Amino acid sequence: MASGLFALLDDIATLMDDVAVISKVAAKKTAGILGDDLAVNAEKASGFVSDRELPVLWAITKGSLLNKAIILPFAFLLSAFLPVAVTIILVLGGLYLAYEGAEKIYEYFVPHPHESAEKVDENITEEEVLALEKKKIKSAITTDFILSVEIIIIALGTVVGEPLSTQIIVVTIIALVATVGVYGIVGLIVRMDEFGAKLIALNEKEDSFSDKVGLLLVNALPKLIRALGFIGTIALLLVSGGIFAHNIDFFHHLLESWPGIVKEFLIGLVVGFAVLLLLSAVKKIFKKK
């Protein structure tokens, strides 16, 4: 009986050691997309009344956890019964990531008008404020669903050859870390300006140390979100290029003498702009019809 218990504990220890090693690999694979996730969610969670930012962020976080609770079982079923589907979804996700990265670069160099933002009446009622808040939360949770699918499939792609128990533990850990880590950091980011304002109002002295730090935090918020967006765009192309290079033979043997990071970035960039041009052409054809 005792020997059986020790054998079980040894198996558990071995499993957890494997999980720790594989989780590190999966985390590295998904880290790229988290930069874009941070930028997107920080932008969506900001712009609310100060005392509503954290409740809104908590609502989005709960929606994100629900998204992952829905996605994870389907991902594990695919991995168990149709593993080739994981690779197909992974490549399709890579196309989406490459397209998103290319579109952001195109928009930076060739700006185009967006739909005008909704004008909010100063005399808006509390019910209307809550309705607008719910609309923004719903939009953020929808965006999170797409990003969650990408994160889970990329993580699953790194453990697709492992036992199902290892896959479940590793991918669940990555999903939870992604949610807690991303929204925890987003919470700190969106409160930067509020904390800065409190430092400025800390004393009546002008140009004090607290004033300087407070102004730095207030002015840094929009710059930080833009910087995260830039880093996220590069990460999108690197992650997508890595997906193509590791799952498609043509790209795997392409530019073999080049450094991996340069090769993956160029592949993601070229494929992204190819998808962007294709979708633009399709949109024009449908507009004409």
Q: What percent of the chain has pLDDT over 70?
A: 75
Q: What is the DSSP letter of 191?
A: T
pLDDT of residue 48: 56
Average pLDDT over the chain, rounded to an integer: 76
Token pair 């059986």: residue: 4
The predicted structure's pLDDT at residue 119:
46
Judge whether 269 and 101 are in contact, CB under 8 Å: yes
Q: Is residue 110 within 8 Å of 18, Cβ to Cβ? A: no
Give me the residue spans of the domains in the chain.
2-288
pTM comes to 0.69
pLDDT value, residue 39: 58
| Residue 173 to residues 68, 69, 103, 152, 165, Cα–Cα distance (Å) | 11, 12, 31, 10, 12
Does the CA dihedral 9-10-11-13 come out positive or negative? Answer: positive
